[in-house]
Amino acid sequence: MAAAEVTVMGGGIFGLSIAFACACRGARVHLIERHRVGAGSSGGVVGALAPHTPENWNAKKQFQLDSLLMAEGFWADVARLSGIDPGYARLGRLQPLPDERAIAQARRRAEEAGTLWQGQAFWRVEAGTDDWRGTSPTGLWVFDSLSARLHPRRAATALVAAIRALGGTVTEQGQPRETGHPPDLATNDFPDATPTGPVIWATGHAGLLALSSDLGQALGGGVKGQAALLACAAASQPQLFVDGLHIVPHFDGTVAIGSTSEREWVDPSGTDDQLDTLIARARAACPLLASAPVTDRWAGIRPRAASRAPILGRWPGRQGHFIANGGFKIGFGMAPKVADVMADLVINGHADIPDGFGLKEPL
């Protein structure tokens, strides 16, 4: 029997992961990226794979938990097939507790995590201070053992190599990025591309705008984020989350910090004083970063669905076309599970996708 053919449009984390999962199931995969792999938000630097709080449980939180628990095996397979280390490590995350109310809330969540996280990770309150974590106003911290890190750019490179190792193709068209109206992704936005078999559209914020236009619904758009890399050897440390700021140590002697959330912007890839403020906050929070030099500044537009949940499933009104979009800040953490269910849907015709993640046919 001939192998199924699948075309994936978009070389961000969702597109790459889905292409890899389809190739692992024996499909002949063709991934086409209009610009270059990682040209959008997936080419950033932060790589924080962090869970939602263990309370007010819902389908989105369960989906994310499943994905975070799948991540170690997923990225180990990518590393084995590609020969490239994607920088995955599950070292946990620390968050300072500012007052007694926060301490009480953290202890309630610790009890919830004992049940909701199925005994596979924990959320606990602990004391401590050192050159990495600095000081907490109360002397206490939340530590969760579910959070992990990933090196976004290495992960993308590893996925490309793994897809090719499985017989798939990855094509970068090198087209300039769009700056105006959303493109018509189904026709002329991928010049010289001839999709074969089912087509999965994983085209980031521009894809959300095009989907919204096609269905006549406001389904989402872009939010700009800025982040930075600092030179600091802290590879064995857990990540920090301080007043909304991610501080993520990577295996290559860098620490990532980020990110801003900007609904309005002039330059989609430019950095400014908002990033300078983040850097100053990171230096104040983490003593080891006080004099660490900045080695990279990054900005990009992240795809945010209006529902805040990823959009996964069939493209209404377009037979054989599928959508995987809206990863926003948790795309890398969601990627293993997104890849699994989308490969099931496209190849097997069915998948266990939460109701809130799909799209309805337009009226």
Q: What is the pLDDT of residues 49-97, one digit of tens each?
A: 999 999 999 999 999 999 999 999 999 999 999 999 999 999 999 999 9
What DSSP string runs through 222-254?
A: EEEEEEEEEE---TTSPEEEETTEEEEE-TTSE
97 located within any domain: no
In a domain, 63, yes or no: yes
The answer, yes or no, to whether residue 188 has pLDDT greater than 60, is no
Residue indicated by tokens 């692992």: 24
Count: domains in the chain = 1
Write down the pLDDT at residue 190: 77
List of residues 6+ apart from 102 with CB closer than 8 A: 138
Is residue 244 in some structural domain? Answer: no
Domain carrying residue 333: 5-89+146-220+302-357
Q: Is the Cα dihedral 293, 243, 14, 88 positive or negative?
A: positive
Residue 191 has what pLDDT?
Answer: 72
Instruction: Name the nearest CA neighbour of 270 among 246, 301, 247, 303.
Output: 301
Model confidence pLDDT, tens digit, residues 309-362: 999 999 999 999 999 999 998 999 999 999 999 999 999 998 889 988 988 665
- Does 192 map to a domain? yes
In eight-state DSSP terms, residue 320 is T
Does residue 1 carry a pLDDT above 60?
Answer: no
Burial of residue 47, with CB atoms counted within 10 A of its CB: 0-12 exposed, 13-18 middle, 19 or more buried: buried
| Sign of the torsion angle spanned by Cα atoms 211, 308, 66, 148 | positive
39: in domain = yes
Any domain includes 235 = no
Note whether residue 110 is domain-resident: no
As a whole number of angstroms, the distance between CA 292 and CA 290 comes to: 6
Q: Measuring CA to CA, how many Å separate 176 from each of 25, 39, 99, 189, 342?
A: 33, 10, 49, 11, 28
Q: Where residue 79 sits, what CATH number does that domain have?
A: 3.50.50.60
Q: What is the pLDDT of residues 31-59, one digit of tens each?
A: 999 999 998 889 999 999 999 999 999 99
Contact between 228 and 297 under an 8 Å Cβ cutoff? The reply is yes
Q: Is residue 351 part of a domain?
A: yes
Torsion of CA 124, 126, 131, 135, to 10 degrees: 110
| Mean pLDDT calculated for residue range 252-279 | 95
Strands (E), the chain: 5-9, 28-33, 48-49, 93-96, 123-127, 140-144, 148-149, 169-172, 199-201, 220-231, 239-242, 245-249, 254-258, 294-305, 311-314, 321-325
* pTM of structure: 0.94
Looking at the predicted structure, is the pLDDT value of residue 237 above 80? yes
